[in-house]
Structure 1
Amino acid sequence: MDFSIASILALDGVTNGAVYALLALATVLLFAVTRVIFIPQGEFVAFGALTLAMMQAGTVPGTVWLVLVLAGLAALQEAVAGWRAHRPLRHTLRAVLGVLAWPVVAALVVRWAAPQQFPLGVQAVLTLALVTPLGGLIYRLAYESLADASVLVLLIVSVGVHFVLTGLGLYAFGAEGFRNPPFWDERFAWGPLTLSGQTLIVFGVSMALIVMLWLFFERSLWGKALRATAVNRLGARLMGISSTGAGRLSFTMAAFIGALSGLLIGPTTTIFYDSGFLIGLKGFVAAVFAGLSSYPLALVGALGVGLLESFGSFWASAFKEVIVFGAILPVLLWRSLRDPHVEEH
């Protein structure tokens, strides 16, 4: 291996690591706020990429019907909860409309816009608007009633949600894989390296989103509420912060990050309905490196995973996944020896 090959592999690893960093940040966010180890984070990646691919083909994406069905179930759940709690009818109707508004409007707009063949940027925005509400709907249906359950129970639920979403993805998108066109197809020579416009977009969007997340948690009231919930759920409740609202917001943000990651990675690899699992798992490895608690360490871990995958594919391409996932073992051992064990009651 000479310097030029090493540079190309490093660039490829850092590019993939930037996407894994977004998924790792979403995983850390969800665990910190809700204590959910969210296995299906990669499904948002696949749904985002495949939704854009179907809109590129001029067909209505299956995500439209998936969002409408989940929104209907969540609205029914809200109506039953209002009836059991004997709330006034107007309050129940307002809550039901609050659940349905965003998903229904986004689904109807995408259903109308899909055959119109709008520019790629417009289709990307519509994809984000359609996939993002899936996060809040999944939290309402699968996790909200179990918010105070143990981490193990929440993990088991996450595994079940993963299998459900994978099956729904097969039904909605089919078994065929898709690769999206790049958002910018220019190429720039820099010594032995050739930078594509898509690579620059991946770097730019990833860094911009990381900075926006930092500003959100440091400057906004909602961000500070999420931080307070992550530090002490009971204390946040006593101060008037809704843990239910924090969970819904964090899952919505995770869905947005996942869908955006799918748009970024879609032009670089073929995405199938089940591709999100391996992609999300690599983000999870980076989050484990951070102890599921530190955003800067999650970023460092994601870059490490990307570099390990890139160089591993060069030296032993048949075992690159084994190399990446095997790297979690020394990290877990180090965490086990470094951190004290606390028995959860």
Structure 2
Amino acid sequence: MDLSIAGILLLDGATSGAVYALLALALVLVFAVTRVIFIPQGEFVAYGALTLAMLQMGKLPGTVWLLAVLAMLATLRDAFAAVRAGQPAGRIARDAARSLAGPAVVALLALWAAPRQLPLVLQSLLALAIVTPLGPLVYRLAYRPLADAPVLVLLIVSVGVHFALTGLGLLFFGAEGFRNPSFWDERFRAGPLVLSGQALIIFLVSAALIVGLGLFFGRTLRGKALRATAVNRLGARLMGISTDGAGRWSMGLAAFIGALSGLLIGPTTTMFYDTGFLIGLKGFVAAIFGGLASYPGAAAGALFVGWLESFGSFWASAYKEVIVFTMILPVLLWRSVTHGQTDDE
């Protein structure tokens, strides 16, 4: 290996690491706020990329029907709980209308836009609008009833949600793979290194989103509420912060980050209905480097995972996945030795 090949591998690993960093940050956020190890994070990556692929072909994505069904189920569940609590009928109707308004608007917009060949940017925004609300809806249906359950129970629920979303992905998109068009086809050369416009977009969007998340958590009231919930759920509840709202927001951010990651990597690799699982799992490995608690640690771990995958594919391409996932064992061992707590948390 010479310096030119090493530079190419470093650039390729950094590109992948930027995406893994976004997923790792989303996983840390969800775990900190809800104590959920969000295994279905990768499914939102696949849903984002494949929803855009369906719009590119002029077809209505199946995720639109999933959004409508989940919204109706969540609304019916909340309405039933409100009736049992004795709430007024007018308030129940207003809450139901408010819950269904957003998904209904997105579904109608998708029905109108799907047959039309809209510009790629508009189709990407529509794909984000379709996939992002799935996060809060999944939280309302699968996680909110078990919000105070042990972490192990929440992990089992995450496994079930993962299998359900993967099966639905096969139903919606089929077994065929899709590759989306690049957002920018320009190429920049610096000696032996070639930086594609798509890779530059990945770097810029990832950096902008990380900075935006930092400003959101540090400067906005909603972000500070999420931080307070992450530090102490009971204390946040006693201070009037809705832990249910914090859970919905964290899942919504995770779904948005996953869908955006799918749009970013869709032009660089062929996406299948189950591709998101491996990508999300690498984000989880990166999050483990930060102990599922440190955002900088997760970002640094993501870069390390990207470079490890890149160099591993050069030296032993058949074992690159094994190399990446094996690295989680010494990290877990080190954290189990240095971590002083002995309870399940």
Same fold (TM over 0.5): yes
Q: Which residue of 2 aligns with 1:37?
A: 37
User: Structure 2: how far apart are the matches of 1:177 and 1:124?
Assistant: 18
User: Structure 2: how far apart are the matches of 1:94 and 1:198?
Assistant: 44
Is 1:163 the counterpart of 2:169? The answer is: no
Corresponding letter in the other structure for 2:196: S
Is 1:60 the counterpart of 2:60? The answer is: yes
Taking the TM superposition and a 5 Å limit, the aligned residue runs for 1:209-248 are 209-248=209-248
Deviation per CA, 1:150-182: give whole Å up to 9, x if none.
000000000000000001111111111000000
Deviation per CA, 1:252-291: give whole Å up to 9, x if none.
1100000000000100000000011000000000001100
Corresponding letter in the other structure for 1:37: I
User: Structure 2: how far apart are the matches of 1:220 and 1:281?
Assistant: 30
User: Structure 1: how far apart are the matches of 2:247 and 2:95?
Assistant: 17
Deviation per CA, 1:49-100: give whole Å up to 9, x if none.
0000010111111111111111111111111111111101121112212221
Comparing 62-71 and 206-215, the one that deviates more:
62-71
Taking the TM superposition and a 5 Å limit, the aligned residue runs for 1:258-269 are 258-269=258-269
Corresponding letter in the other structure for 1:122: L
Q: Which residue of 1 aligns with 2:11?
A: 11
TM-score in terms of structure 2 length: 0.99
Deviation per CA, 1:78-130: give whole Å up to 9, x if none.
11111111101121112212221211211110121011110000000011111
Once the two structures are TM-superposed, the CA of residue 201 in structure 1 deviates from its matched residue by 0.2
Corresponding letter in the other structure for 1:239: M
Q: Which residue of 2 aligns with 1:294?
A: 294
SS at match of 2:182: coil
SS at match of 1:267: coil
User: Structure 2: how far apart are the matches of 1:337 and 1:192?
Assistant: 44
Corresponding letter in the other structure for 1:325: F
SS at match of 2:273: coil
Q: Which residue of 2 aligns with 1:136?
A: 136
Corresponding letter in the other structure for 1:261: S
Q: Which residue of 1 aligns with 2:83?
A: 83
Once the two structures are TM-superposed, the CA of residue 244 in structure 1 deviates from its matched residue by 0.4
Deviation per CA, 1:195-232: give whole Å up to 9, x if none.
10000000000000000000000000000000000000
Is 1:186 the counterpart of 2:186? The answer is: yes
Identity %: 72
Once the two structures are TM-superposed, the CA of residue 43 in structure 1 deviates from its matched residue by 0.3
Q: Which residue of 1 aligns with 2:327?
A: 327
Q: Deviation above 2 Å: which 4+ runs of structure 1?
A: none
User: Structure 2: how far apart are the matches of 1:77 and 1:173?
Assistant: 28
User: Structure 2: how far apart are the matches of 1:196 and 1:279?
Assistant: 21
Once the two structures are TM-superposed, the CA of residue 344 in structure 1 deviates from its matched residue by 3.5
Corresponding letter in the other structure for 1:283: G
Once the two structures are TM-superposed, the CA of residue 342 in structure 1 deviates from its matched residue by 2.9
SS at match of 2:115: helix
Corresponding letter in the other structure for 1:68: A
User: Structure 2: how far apart are the matches of 1:93 and 1:236?
Assistant: 29
User: Structure 2: how far apart are the matches of 1:307 and 1:99?
Assistant: 43
Comparing 333-342 and 248-257, the one that deviates more:
333-342
User: Structure 2: how far apart are the matches of 1:8 and 1:318?
Assistant: 19
User: Structure 2: how far apart are the matches of 1:94 and 1:67?
Assistant: 20
Query: Which residues of structure 2 form unaligned runs of 5+?
Result: none
SS at match of 1:141: helix
Once the two structures are TM-superposed, the CA of residue 191 in structure 1 deviates from its matched residue by 1.5
SS at match of 2:323: helix
SS at match of 1:177: coil
SS at match of 1:342: coil
What is the alpha-carbon root mean square deviation over aligned residues? 0.8
User: Structure 2: how far apart are the matches of 1:5 and 1:81?
Assistant: 61
Q: Which residue of 1 aligns with 2:21?
A: 21
Count residues with an aligned counterpart: 345
Corresponding letter in the other structure for 2:178: F
